[in-house]
Structure 1
Amino acid sequence: MNSLSLLVCALLQLHAVWGLAPLQWPASRGPELLSTKAADVGIVRGDPVLQGLLANNTAWAAGVEKEHPGFFNKSAQGQHPPVLWIGCSDSRVPESVITNVLPGEIFTQRNIANQIPSNDTNVVAVISYAVEHLEVDRIVVAGHTHCGGVEYCYDHAAALPSPPPKPLPPLPEPILNAWLESLYATAVQMLQGGKPPSRDQGLADLTLANVRIQVGNVAGLDVVKHAWKEGRNLTIVGWLYEIEHGLLKDLSICIGPFGRNCTIGAY
């Protein structure tokens, strides 16, 4: 059952529990209430930002269909992306835009500072689905410059005395501390090894270290090790998106079958 069907069922159950009148579907459309036409979505009227997004989508869809006739009908038949992209939630790093590909080419997991904790159900579920069901053979871990999560951890680590107290004081926001605890610890460890000549250099070093660590975290997941055991040529690479230039940079971080280092041309 898809998410829309689950939502409809939940609404029907709530109406029954609360004794409300039955839901009435428009006779012309049946239960397909979610229209793709911007004019039918009255809730956004008066909001120029949301209206603009819907208008842009209409123009984009028309342009894609004109350039690639039948694209959306074909897309509805299923997805076979060759790449899983694990990146940051930052609005300036939309993977399909910066790589100039159409929908269906990249399966995606994005979160603050492109973290890959092995105990996070959401992250592991995405990777498992990509590897086991979509059978992707390329996983890209993409960090980026000017990452808010990296800056947050670095600045709080830099403010600690040397040597830092044990245990480390948590980051101010509890939810961010829970998510970025590992990156924060990496920043503290890095700074205790010697302060960089500048904040910019420190941020660059932490960004690179973060990508390297997350590539290793992917390689350590059971689903990835199982794929290698089955003979899959699954490759994990680390990239960096330079926001100030709009360019992706190959960091020469690459792990192939059974955790072996590999060259970028291997896949």
Structure 2
Amino acid sequence: MTSYEKLLLENKAWAKEVEQEDPTFFKRLSALQTPEFLWIGCSDSRVPADKITGTQPGEIFVHRNIANMVVHTDVNLLSVLDYAVNHLKVRHVIVCGHYGCGGVKAAMGNQDFKPVLNMWLRNIKDVYHVHKTELDAIANEDDKTDRLVELNVKEQVSHLAQTSIIQRAWKNDNRPYLHGWVYGLKDGLIKPVMEVQPGAEIDPLYRYDDL
């Protein structure tokens, strides 16, 4: 049996188990999607949003990319954000990074990862540049990486607040709340590092006044 065939077999077993426990589960799920949360997480296979939060299908709308970035030229991310905020009416947007992030580690070095990855990692390097004084003062490389993971999450939450999508929802619906979390691979626990209330003050340079 190939590895992908095993995935299909496991899927059948899972679907059968769910239907036995709750015969109407898939019927309900197919008819309605009303998640309360948008999760912007890392693509790392060790950080599945539903598993680490104990949530069920339909409870979290998910977008994942390398190092959980909110890049203002990323149409994929912005499309997900727009749909989640304006159509699904989520009340919370969570940016969740994780300690030991490979993308963050790569961005701290000087290796050439070829054009596309270099372009993506540049966004993390920019976060390092902003916080260079603090980070350069940390001698231990693992501690430095972990701190950059936290600072990167905070920076991405700030990027969310700078979008017209979020600001318009704040003005019209007093939502969503923005959260920055970091997941620990070594203990399985989530550490909140930032929270932004609807309508919070942001740098006037990024504020839209005519929404």
TM-score, structure 1 normalization: 0.71
Q: Distance in 2 between matches of 1:233 and 1:222?
A: 13
Which of the two has higher C-alpha Rg?
A: 1
Partner of 1:185: 126
- Equivalent positions of 1:184-263 (< 5 A) are 184-193=125-134, 194-251=136-193, 253-260=194-201
Matched, 1:63 2:17: yes
Partner of 1:76: 30
Matched position secondary structure for 1:59: helix
> Which is further off, 92-101 or 209-218?
92-101
Q: How far has the Cα of 1:142 moved from its partner? A: 0.1
Q: How far has the Cα of 1:232 moved from its partner? A: 2.4
Q: Distance in 1 between matches of 2:148 and 2:106?
A: 11
Deviations 1:188-234 (A, max 9, x none): 44345533121011101100110000000111111110001103231
Q: Distance in 1 between matches of 2:147 and 2:85?
A: 30
Partner of 1:108: 62
- Equivalent positions of 1:82-121 (< 5 A) are 82-121=36-75
Amino acid across the alignment from 1:121: V
Aligned residue pairs, count: 201
Deviations 1:146-203 (A, max 9, x none): 11100001123xx9xxxxxxxxxxx542101211212112224434553312101110
Amino acid across the alignment from 1:199: E
Higher relative contact order (CA 8 A, sep 6+): 2
Q: Distance in 2 between matches of 1:192 and 1:83?
A: 35
Q: Distance in 1 between matches of 2:146 and 2:140?
A: 10
Moved over 3 A (4+): 188-195
Matched position secondary structure for 1:113: coil
Amino acid across the alignment from 1:144: H
Kept in 2: contact 1:84–1:107 (CA 8 A): yes
CA RMSD of aligned residues (A): 1.7
Matched position secondary structure for 1:230: helix
Consecutive unaligned residues in structure 2, runs of 5 or more = 203-211
Kept in 1: contact 2:127–2:155 (CA 8 A): no
Matched position secondary structure for 2:173: coil
Partner of 1:10: none
Kept in 1: contact 2:174–2:199 (CA 8 A): no
Partner of 1:51: 5
Matched position secondary structure for 2:67: helix
TM-score, structure 2 normalization: 0.89
Q: Distance in 2 between matches of 1:142 and 1:89?
A: 11
Amino acid across the alignment from 1:114: N
Q: Distance in 1 between matches of 2:180 and 2:87?
A: 23
Q: Distance in 1 between matches of 2:23 and 2:190?
A: 30
Matched position secondary structure for 1:125: helix
Kept in 2: contact 1:154–1:184 (CA 8 A): yes
CA distance 1:260–1:68, shift in 2 (3 Å)? farther
Q: Distance in 1 between matches of 2:67 and 2:154?
A: 13
Q: Distance in 1 between matches of 2:177 and 2:130?
A: 29
Amino acid across the alignment from 1:57: N
Partner of 1:164: none
Partner of 2:83: 129
